[in-house]
Amino acid sequence: MYIHLAKDLGAIIRDSRKSKQWNQTEFANKLGLTQRSISVMENDPTKVDFGIILQVCAVLGLKLEINTNALHQSHDKSSAELDW
């Protein structure tokens, strides 16, 4: 699944948590966080430290991949021509 917006990441985290049948409090306890921090993460992950996002992905068994192929394939284009 591709993430285009921060809220996409929040939805993936929420859906993955629910697939494990964990409520927010149970999930928070596994991470040493509060239920409120899980709620914030699922609704607006821009307010959460990236290190915590990585920890969350590990606990949920999610793989976070950053792919630069589009940039490498477009290396001959000017920055104005890149397909964002």
The pTM for the full model equals: 0.77
Who contacts 76 (Cβ-Cβ below 8 Å, separation ≥6)?
Answer: none
Which of the two residues, 79 and 3, has the higher pLDDT score?
A: 3
Alpha helices in 5-44 (DSSP H): 6-19, 24-31, 35-43
What pLDDT score does 71 carry?
Answer: 54
What pLDDT score does 73 carry?
Answer: 55
Digit-coded pLDDT (tens) for 19-45: 999 999 999 999 999 999 999 999 999
Digit-coded pLDDT (tens) for 38-71: 999 999 999 999 999 999 999 999 998 888 776 5
Domain ranges of the chain: 6-60
Domain 6-60 sits in CATH 1.10.3470: no
